Amino acid sequence: MNISMLTTTQLALLLGLATALVAVTARRAAVVGLAIQYTLRLLMVGPLLLRPVLYGQVAVALAALMILFLSASSLAHVQRQRVVGGVSPLVRMGGLYGLFSMALAAFVALGLYRSFPLPGLSAQVTLGCYWLLLAGLLLIVIEPTVLGQGMAAVTALNGFQMAFLTLDNGLLMIALLSLLEIGLVLTVAVLSEQQLEQLAEAEEG
Amino acid sequence: MPLTVWLAVPFVGALLLWPVRRARQVAAPVAALIYLALAVTAPMVARSAPIDLLGRSLNLSAAHAPYVCFLAVGLALLMAGGAFVQESALVWPGSLGTFGFLVAALCAGSAQLAGAMLSIAVIGVAFCLLAPNTSELTMRTVIVLLCGTLMLLLAGWTVEASRLEHPLSVGAIGRPAALFGMALLLGLFPFGFWAPPLGRVERPTGAFLAVCALGVIASLRMSELSGLAGRELLPIVLRWGGLLTFCFGAVGALLPRRLCAVVGYAAMADLGVAALAMGAAPLDGVDLAAQHLAYRAVACAALWVAARVLSKCFGSDDVHALNGAFSRAPLTLTAVLLAGMSLSGLPPMAGFASRNAILGLTMTNPWWSSLWAMGTLGPVWGLARIVIASWGPTPPPGSRREPVWLGVLLLAMTLFLLVAGVLPNVIAWMQGLAS
C-alpha cells in the first residue's frame, strides 16, 4: 500500500485518530495511537528504503511500542490500586483538554501545510510532519505525567522523522535515528517507573 | 593511535563497566583512568588520518583536541569524586557512552551527523541524571535538549542540501533551525530555563554533561552554522541573548544558599559572557568563547564535586551548615575559593584572563564595563559568602573530615586554572602540541 492512495481528508482523519488517542488517554490506548503513527510513517518513508532497512524500521517500531505498552500497563495497574485504596490517582488535566489541544494543533497544521510547504516534500508528508510535531509539542506542555510527556515526545519525533527520513534516507542516519528512538522510549519507561516509585514512597512516608 | 580505536575506547569502557556498575569503589577509579587515558591520547589522535563511517568522515582536528582534554579531565575528576559521594550506578557506563557520542559529534565531518550524535548523547545524559525525585526534571531536560539537537540536525541537513539540490531550504528551514537549536543547546536566556535546576540535582556528572560538555561541543560546531543563521541576525541574537543570560545568571547567583545551586547560576552568567564573544566576532569570538567555556567546564566540575564532598562531610552544602567547616575541609574549601574566583571572572584565574580578552573584543562603551563588573558581583557574592562562613571558629557538630586524596585532586584541578590564568596561552600551546 502507498500513502498516495489516501486523500488528504482520509490522511487527516487517520492523523486525528492517532493523536487523539494519545491526547485523551496517555495510557495503554495511546499505544494504539502511536502504532497508527508508526504505520503512517513507514508507509510514507517505506518506498524510499531498501527492504532489509524497512524490516529493521518495523522491528524498532514494534520494540518501541512493546516497551511503552509495558510501561503504560504498569502505570494503569498502580492507578487502579490507588483508586481501590481510596487515594487520588495521578492528576491529569482531562481528556477533553487534551482533545482541545490536539484540535488546535490540527487546525494550525492544516493551515501551515498549504501556506508554508516544506521544500522537497510532498503535501502529505508535510501535513503529517506539521500535525504530529505540533500535536506532540502541545501535549508535552500540558501532560503532567512522565509517561504522557514521553508519548507526546515520541509523537513529535515521529513527525520529525516522517519529514527527515524522506529527505535523507542514508543508512547511517536511519541507524542513528533508530538508536535515538529506542533510547528515548527506554528513557521514558525508566523515568515513568521512577515516578511511580516516588509516589509509592511518598505515600508510605 | 588510530582515530577508530580512540573513538571506540569510551564505548568499550562502558561495556566493561556495566557488569561492575554497582561496585562503586571499582567502577569509579576505572572510569576516571579511562577518561585520563582519553585526555592524554587526544593530542596524538589529532595527528592521525580521518576515518570513513558509512560514507561520512570523522576527524579530530588539532584545534579541537585541547577541548576534548579539558572535558575528559573534568569527567575524570567527577568519576574520582563519585568514589566518595553517592552517584547512580548508571553514571559510570552512562557517562562514558555519552562522552563517546559527544566526541563523535565533535569529530563528525558534517553538522548533520553531529546533530544526530548529540541527540543520542542527550539520552545518555538522562541516564546520568537518574536520581530519586528527578524524573520530571530529567524528562523536561531531555525534551528541551532533544529539541535543540534535532534542530541542529535539521540545520546541518540544510547546509548539505544547499550545496546539492535544495538551495531554497536554507532560508525556510535552516535559519530558524540553527538559531533555535543553538539557543536551546547553549542554554541562552530565555531558552536556558532548563539549566539552573540541574545544578541542584545530586548528580554532578549528569549536570556537567548537560550544562558544560554539550555547550562546549555546540560552540565548537558554531562556525559552520553561523553563515546559515544569517550574518546580521546571529550577532544580534547572540549579543542580546548573551547579555540577558549574563544578567539573569548574575542575579540568580545572589539568591541561593546552597553551593551547588549558586554554581548553576554562576555557570549561566559565564555562558552569557561566552555568547557575547560569539556575537562579537565570527571567528576569533567563537575561539575565545570555546576557550572560556572550557575553563568554565573545569571550574564547574571542581565546584560540583566540592559541593557533594561538603554535603557528605557536613550534611549539606548550605551556607548555614558550613559554618566553621574550613578546619575540617581546608583543601576542598580552598578549591572552592579558587574555582569560584575563576567562574566569577576574578584575577588571576583563567576565567578572568578569558573574560578580559572577551571584554576587549566586545565592549566599546564605558557603561558596558560597569555592567560587566556588576554582573560579576552576583556569582562572587554567592560563592564568597559560603567560603567566608566556613572560616568560623567552631566546626559543625557531628561533621567528618574531608578525604585528603580528593581534596588534593580538587586543589590540583583549580591550581591548573590559576596557571592557565597566569599563562593564558595554554590552549594555544596544547593545539601546537597536537598539530
B283-316: pLDDT as tens digits: 678 888 999 999 999 999 999 999 999 999 998 8
Domain extent for B238: 231-435
* pLDDT, position B337: 95
Shared-domain flag, residues B67 and B167:
yes
Residue B206, number of CB atoms within 10 A of its CB: 30
Residues with Cβ within 8 Å of B340's Cβ and at least 6 positions away in sequence, in order, are: B266, B299, B303, B379, B380, B383, B384, B387
pLDDT in tens, B257-281: 999 999 999 999 999 999 988 888 7
Shared-domain flag, residues B149 and B252:
no
Shared-domain flag, residues B163 and B189:
yes
Shared-domain flag, residues B118 and B220:
yes
Q: Using pLDDT thresholds of 50, 70 and 90, give the confidence band for residue B170.
A: low
pLDDT in tens, B65-94: 999 999 999 999 999 998 887 678 899 999
* Mean pLDDT of the region B113-141: 92
Amino acid letter, B350: A
Range from A85-99, B221-235, B355-369 carrying the lowest mean pLDDT: A85-99
d(CA B356, CA B394) in angstroms, rounded, equals: 39
- Which residue has better confidence, B380 or B375? B380
Single residue among B177, B205, B228 that ends a domain in this structure: B228
Q: Which residues of chain A does B165 touch, with a Cβ-Cβ cutoff of 8 Å?
A: 120
CB B362 within 8 A of CB B375: no
Q: Which residues of chain B does A75 touch, with a Cβ-Cβ cutoff of 8 Å?
A: none
Residues recorded for chain B: 435
Expressed in angstroms, the distance from the first to the final Cα of chain B is: 14
Shared-domain flag, residues B350 and B372:
yes
Q: Which residues of chain B does A187 touch, with a Cβ-Cβ cutoff of 8 Å?
A: 123, 126-127, 138-139, 142
Candidates B364, B342, B362, B369; CA nearest to B424 is B342
Domain extent for A162: 3-204
CB B207 within 8 A of CB B92: no
- Which residue has better confidence, B310 or B426? B310
Cβ contact (<8 Å) for B161 and A173? no
- Which residue has better confidence, A27 or A122? A122
* pLDDT, position B55: 83
- Which residue has better confidence, B362 or A131? A131
Residues with Cβ within 8 Å of B102's Cβ and at least 6 positions away in sequence, in order, are: B71, B117, B118, B121, B209, B213, B214, B217
d(CA B280, CA B426) in angstroms, rounded, equals: 23
pLDDT in tens, B309-350: 999 999 889 998 998 899 999 999 999 999 999 999 998 999
Which of B116, B134, B172 is opposite residue A176, by nearest beta carbon?
A: B116
* Mean pLDDT of the region A137-156: 92
* pLDDT, position A85: 62
* pLDDT, position B156: 87
Q: Using pLDDT thresholds of 50, 70 and 90, give the confidence band for residue B9.
A: very high
Which of B136, B146, B157 is opposite residue A168, by nearest beta carbon?
A: B157
CA–CA distance from A17 to each of A11, B99, B369, B375 (Å)?
10, 40, 57, 52
Question: If you ran DSSP here, which 8-state letter would residue B19 be given?
Answer: G
d(CA B95, CA A168) in angstroms, rounded, equals: 30
* pLDDT, position A14: 94
Q: Using pLDDT thresholds of 50, 70 and 90, give the confidence band for residue B237.
A: confident
Shared-domain flag, residues B99 and B39:
yes
Residue A53, number of CB atoms within 10 A of its CB: 17
Q: Which residues of chain B does A161 touch, with a Cβ-Cβ cutoff of 8 Å?
A: none
Q: Is B163 exposed, middle or buried (0-12, 13-18, 19+ CB in 10 A)?
A: exposed
* pLDDT, position B166: 57
* pLDDT, position B110: 87
Residue percentage of chain A with pLDDT more than 70 = 92
pLDDT score of A143 more than 70: yes
Residues recorded for chain A: 205
* pLDDT, position A92: 58
* Mean pLDDT of the region B144-168: 82
CA contacts within 13 A on the Cβ side of B311: 22
| B55 in reach of chain A (CB within 8 A) | yes
Q: Is the dihedral of CA B402, B405, B410, B416 positive or negative?
A: positive
Residue B257, number of CB atoms within 10 A of its CB: 17
Question: If you ran DSSP here, which 8-state letter would residue B233 be given?
Answer: H
* pLDDT, position B148: 94
Cβ contact (<8 Å) for B130 and A172? no
Q: Using pLDDT thresholds of 50, 70 and 90, give the confidence band for residue A86.
A: low
d(CA B348, CA B331) in angstroms, rounded, equals: 19
Q: Using pLDDT thresholds of 50, 70 and 90, give the confidence band for residue B167.
A: low
* pLDDT, position B190: 86
- For residues B381, B386, B389, B391, the Cα torsion angle rounded to the nearest 10 degrees is -110
Query: What mean pLDDT is reported for chain B?
Result: 89
Q: Using pLDDT thresholds of 50, 70 and 90, give the confidence band for residue A6.
A: confident
CA–CA distance from B94 to each of A181, B16, B91 (Å)?
17, 12, 5
Query: What mean pLDDT is reported for chain A?
Result: 88
Shared-domain flag, residues B193 and B236:
no
Q: How far is CA A27 from the centre of its chain?
A: 12
CB B72 within 8 A of CB B45: no
d(CA B342, CA B353) in angstroms, rounded, equals: 9
pLDDT in tens, B171-225: 667 888 888 888 898 888 888 889 889 988 888 999 999 999 999 999 888 877 7
The angle that helices A123-142 and A146-167 make with each other, rounded to 10 degrees, is 160
Q: Which residues of chain A does B133 touch, with a Cβ-Cβ cutoff of 8 Å?
A: 198
Strand-pair partners of A63:
none
Phi/psi at B345 (nearest 5 deg)? 85, 35
* pLDDT, position B407: 95
Question: If you ran DSSP here, which 8-state letter would residue B318 be given?
Answer: B
Shared-domain flag, residues B241 and B201:
no
Which of A146, A167, A170 is opposite residue B139, by nearest beta carbon?
A: A146
> How many Cβ contacts (< 8 angstroms) between chains A and B?
89
Shared-domain flag, residues B106 and B222:
yes
* pLDDT, position B238: 86
* pLDDT, position A78: 81
* Mean pLDDT of the region B354-381: 83
Cβ contact (<8 Å) for B120 and A171? no
- For residues A16, A22, A24, A30, the Cα torsion angle rounded to the nearest 10 degrees is 120
Shared-domain flag, residues B195 and B84:
yes
Shared-domain flag, residues B5 and B117:
yes
Shared-domain flag, residues B260 and B167:
no
* pLDDT, position A114: 87
Instruction: Say how many domains are in chain A.
Output: 1
In order, the DSSP letters of B203-215 are -HHHHIIIIIIHH
CA geometry: angle B193, B285, B271, nearest 5 deg: 20
Candidates B344, B349, B421; CA nearest to B381 is B344
Amino acid letter, B123: I
* Mean pLDDT of the region A6-30: 89
Which of B143, B151, B159, B169 to mutate against chain A (most A CBs within 10 Å)?
Answer: B143
Instruction: Say how many domains are in chain B.
Output: 2
Range from A4-8, A150-154, B52-56, B364-368 carrying the lowest mean pLDDT: B364-368
Single residue among B228, B254, B282 that ends a domain in this structure: B228
3-class SS of residue B58: strand
Task: Note if the bond before B2 is cis, omega within 30 degrees.
Answer: no
Looking at mean pLDDT, say which of B50-54, B132-136, B385-389, B406-410 comes out highest: B406-410
Single residue among B170, B205, B228 that ends a domain in this structure: B228
Rg, C-alpha atoms of chain B:
20
* Mean pLDDT of the region B49-61: 89
